[in-house]
Structure 1
Amino acid sequence: MAQDVVKSKDSDKQTEQNKPKVQFITVDKEDAGQRIDNFLLRTLKGVPKSHLYRLMRKGEIRVNKKRIKPVYKLAVGDILRIAPIRVSEKTDEVSTKLSVVANLEHQILFEDDRLIVINKPSGMAVHGGSGLSFGLIEALRALRPDARMLELVHRLDRDTSGCLVVAKKRSALRNLHEQLRNKTVQKFYHALVKGHWPTKLTRVTDALKKNDLKSGERVVVVDNIEGKESETRYKVLQRYQGATLVRAFPVTGRTHQIRVHCQASGHSIAGDAKYGNETFDASLKEKGLKRLFLHAASIEFTHPKTEQRLKIEAPLEPSLEKLLTNMVEVEK
């Protein structure tokens, strides 16, 4: 009986420890300037947006003891009081993807207190959504649970591999977004394309337009009347029988830009299920290609803290290296 009483006391103590408590957060200059709803969504991971809005309406989330609206912009020194919130234990499928999460540790190319640059695997979406509850950013958050913030600086298509930059601080995110707007970030891709890419074809400038099909699928087409101005620069790296390895530099950053510009030039990228050539893809599938041969090989930018130019390179995955080794090279 006494033992049962002890167990009951321990249980009550554990329950008391697990009860959510009032939180007080003082805003520093890293977080100043952003809307409070965006700040709370990142800080209170797992709490639905609708619930946060309800808490603000009820005054259970206050700034400097005053009620605020979701559009309120935080200032340095603001003190947030957040009433106890019980967050449901959501795993976001991380438990079933532990091997994927662990593998990402080996794909990190660069990391410091501001940034992570990772060699994103092909087949992994950059974030959950569109029927996916788990993507690379969710995996990184599981890998770095103590990181206060992890946000994508830019994106890569699900089937594209290579350099992807993630910000650890809001100031770094702002800085890199400004560099992207000013076109001082250089991203180079390697693509294996159909046929003999002409050495003189160094620029493709077809305007691109996004079309949403009834099925919900997004397709990008060349439309020089209604499309957005686009430019990709190319350089031949190596020729093979029936194919060319090219380097692509997207001057603009349109959706599926490199893939559609290659298709429009008559040189579709190998393994492209949406814009590819079936005969070409079938021949390479026999050689072992199981994915889109488009890889973000390097990225160069100015480090937000040190202001030094930083160039990060991502190696091709072994399956693509093996494919190229088994192909017959021809002279340029």
Structure 2
Amino acid sequence: MDSNVPQTKLQVSFVTISEENATQRIDNFLITHLKGVPKSMIYRILRKGEVRVNKKRVKPEYKLNNGDEIRIPPIRVAEKTTPEISTKLNKVADLEKAIIYEDDVILAINKPSGIAVHGGSGLSFGVIEGLRALRPEAKFLELVHRIDRETSGVLLIAKKRSALKALHEQLRLKQMQKNYLALVKGNWPSECKVVQAPLLKNVLKSGERVVKVDKEGKPSETRFKVEERFDFATLIKASPVTGRTHQIRVHTQYANHPIAFDDRYGDNQFDMQLADTKLNRLFLHAANVKFIHPKTLQEMQLHAPMDDKLQACLNQLRNDKYQQTESLK
């Protein structure tokens, strides 16, 4: 074994569960508590009875109680850094600048386009890994919800398990309102205010997720409102009632008004019409989110401004519209 690789100390440790972690499954607690330990090892030590709760063996689905004492056996794990984080320090620094709100229980960022919310599918770096690198002292940082890699805008992160549970409950009860801005092909009809179409998710062999409207899919609903019209495009506000994967992107495609520069559900001819705007990213932006603060119980609304590329695209379309109007006078 390479002596230059730092190792964790081999010793039994004991953890007393606080109210913050009560009702959480023991396996999920250990996965979070023992960062860097493979899940297979966690389930192995549970199966062998090396993990004890109040001196007794427990199954992975055991739900913790306030005051439980957990015995964690010695585990040798190389302390590794994520190579992609170390090579993307600029992106980590950008996350610090992207924070639009933070208190002791929640944090919100204006997520840049092009960065995933978490590692996976061949990516070791994502927003949550970056934030954990920025906040090494934080005991708890978890995503409240997700937005697509190419989508920008408001993303909520919980700093306490109690906040995560409260916000997830708001999502479940559809009490959290999220509004997106999207530039879509053609003239979106004013009377099209709601799209209700069931969505079915397929995972290809490559790991890529593709979603389509299918009667066998899950019920899905998005509300729409026209914000601004241009010659061959419309800026719309999209408010998802349900939270399915790629929901807004597929619902706009289903309505025959796909989003600009959507590499999965878009329209190449429409993208070519936008060449003068120099846009080269999906025009979908999580503009604001409204929810009840999990600690103060006050209604909050957080706003995220569009990035320069989206703003420049709109400015160019407005300028073209103005020039056309002037030429008709």
| TM-score (norm: length of structure 2) | 0.90
The residue type paired with residue 290 of structure 1 is: N
Listed one character per residue, the Cα deviations across residues 268-317 of structure 1 (whole Å, up to 9, x for unaligned) are 10010111110111232442111100000000000111100010001101
Superposed CA RMSD in Å reads 2.1
User: Would you say 1:68 and 2:58 are equivalent positions?
Assistant: yes
Q: Report the secondary structure of 2:89's partner residue.
A: helix
Deviates more, 1:300-309 or 1:210-219: 210-219
2:61 and 2:249 map into 1 onto residues whose CA distance is 39
In structure 2, relative to structure 1, the CA distance for the partners of 1:151 and 1:322 (3 Å cut) is: same
Report the Cα distance in structure 2 between the residues aligned to 1:75 and 1:146, rounded to whole angstroms: 25
Other-structure match for 1:205: 196
In the other structure, the counterpart of 2:166 is 175
Indicate yes or no: 2:51 matched with 1:85.
no
Aligned to 1:314: 304
User: In the TM superposition, what are the counterparts of 1:131-210 in structure 2 within 5 Å?
Assistant: 131-210=122-201
Deviates more, 1:75-84 or 1:52-61: 52-61
- 1:206 and 1:18, CA in 2 relative to 1: closer, same or farther beyond 3 A? closer
Matched residues in 2 for 1:209 and 1:59: separation? Answer: 40
Q: Could you tell me the percent identity over the aligned residues?
A: 61
Instruction: State how 1:1-332 maps to structure 2 within 5 Å.
Output: 19-92=9-82, 93-223=84-214, 225-328=215-318, 330=321
Go from structure 1 to structure 2 and tell me whether the alpha carbon gap of 1:100 and 1:31 turns closer, same or farther (over 3 Å shift): same
Choose 214-223 or 286-295, whichever is displaced more.
214-223
Distance 1:197 1:18 in 2: 58
Deviations 1:134-160 (A, max 9, x none): 111111111111111111111111111
Say whether the 8 Å CA contact 1:153–1:177 is kept in structure 2: yes
Q: Distance in 2 between matches of 1:54 and 1:251?
A: 40
Instruction: Name which of structure 1's ranges 279-288 and 313-322 shifts more when overlaid on structure 2.
Output: 279-288
Say which one has the larger Rg. Answer: 1
Q: How far does residue 262 in structure 1 lie from its aligned partner after superposition?
A: 1.0
Deviations 1:28-73 (A, max 9, x none): 1110111111101101110111112223344433222233222222
Q: Contact 2:193–2:223 at 8 Å: present in 1 too? A: yes
The residue aligned with 2:327 is none
Partner SS for 2:179: strand
Question: Using the alignment, how far apart are the partners of 2:6 and 2:234 within structure 1?
Answer: 65
Are the structure 2 counterparts of residues 19 and 210 from structure 1 closer, same or farther at C-alpha, using a change threshold of 3 Å? closer
**Gaps (5+ residues) in structure 1?**
1-14
- Counterpart CA distance in 2 for 1:308 and 1:244 is 34
**Distance in structure 1 (CA, Å) of the matches to 2:95 and 2:180:** 21
CA contact (8 A) 2:121 2:207 kept: no
- Using the TM superposition, give the Cα deviation of residue 125 of structure 1 relative to its aligned residue in structure 2, in angstroms: 1.1
**Alignment partners' CA distance in 2, 1:51 and 1:266:** 49
Deviation (angstroms), 1:16? 12
Partner Cα distance (1:94, 1:154) in 2: 22
Q: Distance in 1 between matches of 2:102 and 2:78?
A: 31
Structure 2 Cα separation of the partners of residues 16 and 22 of structure 1: 18
Match of 1:19, SS state, is: coil
